């Protein structure tokens, strides 16, 4: 009888489910709404997970029988309380037997997907940022990822905030002129820089709108703007600090290791990738930086397979890579 495994990637904008069999063969995928319960609450999180799983089941013509195992990698899950809440959601939806339900943060599934289940580290740099690693002994550590108010260095949001700060400093004369001054005004739809306070503090501005400034900073750096280049170098250095912290904690600093790269910041090209590579290499010369091999949702599937004692060998890995192409 075919065994079916469910992986779930729950985030602030969407939830994705994927179903694979015990050989890693792709069965189906489905999408649901946002499922970071810190943002949308527990009922909405459960509804989004149910929506994604139902869509995946329907695509594979499956009934609502429990899966052999499920792993949920969810944004906002950092504490034992968080894990208990998400576990209860999985039990409410009868996704698998209680002992076959796995829950952790989204960094865990990003690493499992990024390195196809191998020990190592993952650097996430999208709207937010975080570094996570697991060594061969199973010990894990995370650095960064404390949210936009006190952390998320090197992320799209962080870069957007830095662009806003650079723009007002350049307007004041505290910095030399930078193209970011014009980019910020255009992005915020203001003609007078003095209107920025009303735009930010009275009208309000969403986290996503601030993060949307990051591609403008990247483009400005690519055009040779000194201030924009400095911001990218600073962000890369701060991310590298997190990588070094994780490597030191897990014993990767003295030997070879792998670091999977996940998130939109790593699509910026050499203006961001080169300073990040150089900053990591300065402390971890034997760390190999690689693009993520599988998407996080398939990382969740890898963890579901492993929780049932299935080793992700070369054959299963090949099937999962084919699954990644189908999902893409």
Reference 242, options 302, 137, 153; nearest CA is 153
Give the mean pLDDT of the chain.
95
Query: Could you give the strand order of the β-sheet that contains 129-134, starting from the edge strand earlier in sequence?
Result: 140-144, 129-134, 120-125, 257-262, 287-291
Topology, domain 4-116+294-327: Nucleotidyltransferase; domain 5 (3.30.420)
Domain segments of the chain as ranges: 4-116+294-327, 118-292
- Chain segment 119-164, per-residue pLDDT in tens: 999 999 988 899 999 999 999 999 998 888 898 999 999 999 999 9
pTM of the prediction? 0.89
Residues contacting residue 210 through CB under 8 Å, at least 6 positions apart: 157, 160, 161, 164
pLDDT score for 207: 84
Residues contacting residue 169 through CB under 8 Å, at least 6 positions apart: 175
Question: What is the band of 300 on the pLDDT scale with cuts at 50, 70, 90?
Answer: very high
- Chain segment 249-262, per-residue pLDDT in tens: 999 998 899 999 99
Res. 292: pLDDT tops 90? yes
Question: What is the band of 239 on the pLDDT scale with cuts at 50, 70, 90?
Answer: very high
Do 118-292 and 4-116+294-327 fall under one CATH topology? Answer: yes
Question: What is the band of 26 on the pLDDT scale with cuts at 50, 70, 90?
Answer: very high
* CATH classification for the domain delimited by 118-292, as one of 2.70.98.10, 3.40.50.920, 3.30.420.40, 3.40.50.2300: 3.30.420.40
For residues 245-252, average pLDDT: 97
Write the CA distances from 267 to 89, 214, 258, 318, 324, integer angstroms.
35, 12, 19, 25, 19
């Amino acid at each position: 009888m075919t065994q079916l495994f469910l992986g779930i990637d729950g985030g602030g904008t969407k939830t994705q489910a994927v179903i694979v069999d015990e050989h890693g063969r792709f069965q189906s995928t489905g999408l649901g709404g946002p499922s970071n319960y810190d943002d949308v609450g527990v009922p909405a999180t459960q509804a989004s997970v149910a929506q994604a799983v139902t869509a995946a089941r329907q695509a594979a013509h499956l009934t609502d029988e429990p899966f052999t195992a499920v792993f949920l990698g969810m944004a906002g899950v950092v504490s034992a309380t968080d894990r208990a809440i998400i576990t209860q959601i999985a039990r409410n939806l009868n996704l698998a037997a209680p002992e076959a339900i796995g829950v952790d943060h989204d960094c865990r599934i990003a690493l499992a997907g990024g390195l196809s289940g191998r020990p190592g580290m993952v650097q996430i740099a999208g709207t937010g940022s975080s570094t996570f690693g697991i060594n061969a002994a199973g010990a894990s550590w995370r650095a960064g990822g404390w949210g936009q108010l006190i952390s998320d260095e090197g992320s799209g949001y962080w870069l957007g905030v830095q662009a806003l700060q650079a723009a007002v400093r350049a307007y004041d004369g505290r910095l030399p002129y930078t193209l970011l001054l014009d980019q910020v005004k255009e992005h915020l739809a203001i003609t007078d820089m003095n209107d920025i306070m009303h735009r930010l503090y009275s009208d309000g501005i969403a986290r996503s709108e601030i993060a949307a400034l990051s591609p403008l900073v990247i483009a400005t750096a690519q055009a040779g703007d000194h201030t924009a280049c400095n911001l990218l170098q600073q962000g890369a250095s701060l991310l590298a600090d997190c990588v070094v912290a994780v490597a030191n904690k897990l014993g990767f600093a003295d030997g070879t290791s792998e670091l999977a790269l996940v998130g939109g910041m790593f699509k910026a090209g050499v203006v961001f990738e080169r300073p990040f590579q150089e900053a990591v290499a300065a402390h971890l010369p034997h760390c190999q930086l690689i693009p993520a091999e599988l998407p996080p949702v398939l990382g969740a599937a890898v963890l579901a397979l492993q929780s049932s004692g299935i080793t992700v060998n070369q054959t299963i890995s090949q099937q999962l890579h084919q699954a990644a192409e189908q999902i893409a």
